[in-house]
Structure 1
Amino acid sequence: MSNIIKDVVSPERVTKAPVELVGLITRTSNLAEQHVSTQKIGPLWQRYFTERMQTHSNIQLMYGVYYDYQSDMEGEFSVLAGTTATQDQICDLTLIAGEYLKFSAQGEMPQCVVNLWGEVWRYFASEKCEYQRSYLTDYEMYLDNNGVEIYIGIKP
């Protein structure tokens, strides 16, 4: 099992501008992701790497975006696996501008991301948490093969 090599224990509050993305989209739930037979996020990324990586520029960051929440982390949501749109591409999704908490980690993928999401959930479940999730848009931004940032939309 891979551990997070470097992480930010206290997330950083940031204001993000909108970002236009292109990619592949699916709809799922956290309950569905717990069972191999109903998982959609892993297969979505496999399909992305198979179909889209040949057109991916080395200077483009990869994103995993969670949006269109039915309710909260218990309901269904949409997922985009993709990258920033170039001028000649039609945008599939625009990241919502606003306030986010940024969690960062470095480590072996994909376990590093899984572990960091565990940290995110623990943070928001803590009695010491002073923020509420907005459940509008959350996303992972992959900095390189070993670095990831998770942005969680928060209520103002």
Structure 2
Amino acid sequence: MSSQNGYVLTHFTDFYFVGKSIRTSNETAETDIGNFWAQFLQQNWIEQVEHKSGNRILGLYYDYEGDFTKPYSFAIGCRVDNIDVVPEGLIALKIPASNYAEFIARGKMPDCIIDTWVDIWNSDIDRSYTFDLEAYSPDSFVSEDAHVEIFISTK
């Protein structure tokens, strides 16, 4: 891993993801994604997921129509060991191996996430716009001092 401009370059091998998805754009994302997280915290659909790999909750950005100014899909879910069983109403995706720029969002939720995304949009990263993800520990959602890793797929 190498560090530059406030982020660290890293690599992930491919993995499976199961969760629930919405379509949005940055014009309405703050409300759309905020409401989607509220729905998740109320319904906790991850409890239905079998074969979870760890206890981290992922926010996944994918299916971009272009760059970050165009519509994209956003999903909330988790890594799983396999996708043999996918609960009704949820989606399963295989996230391909890729290089990522890792940012750390620290502070009060959700402000620290929004501030970090603004930094990402203003960065010099050569983004691939395939799969970007936020990795939350279970206590991130109730913390005034959250620590969330954000991984941006790079070319």
TM-score interval for Structure 1 and Structure 2 normalised by the shorter chain: 0.7 to 0.9
Q: Which residue of 1 aligns with 2:132?
A: 138
Residues paired across the two proteins, number: 137
2:58 to 50, 54, 63: 63
Alpha-carbon separation, structure 2, partners of 1:16 and 1:114: 24
> Normalized against structure 2, the TM-score is what?
0.77
Alpha-carbon separation, structure 2, partners of 1:54 and 1:97: 23
**Superposed, which structure 2 residues align to 1:122-133 within 5 Å?**
122-123=122-123, 129=124, 131-133=125-127
Alpha-carbon separation, structure 2, partners of 1:53 and 1:68: 22
Q: 1:147 to 1:25 in 2, by over 3 A?
A: same
> Normalized against structure 1, the TM-score is what?
0.77
Q: Percent identity?
A: 30
Q: Which residue of 2 aligns with 1:50?
A: 42
**2:19·2:46 contact (CA, 8 Å) conserved in 1?**
no
Misfit runs of 4+, over 4 Å: none
- What's the secondary structure of 1:12's corresponding residue? strand
Aligned AA for 1:45?
Answer: W
Alpha-carbon separation, structure 2, partners of 1:76 and 1:136: 13
2:74 to 69, 73, 79: 79
Q: CA RMSD in A?
A: 2.3
| Structure 2: tracts of 5 or more residues without a match | 141-145
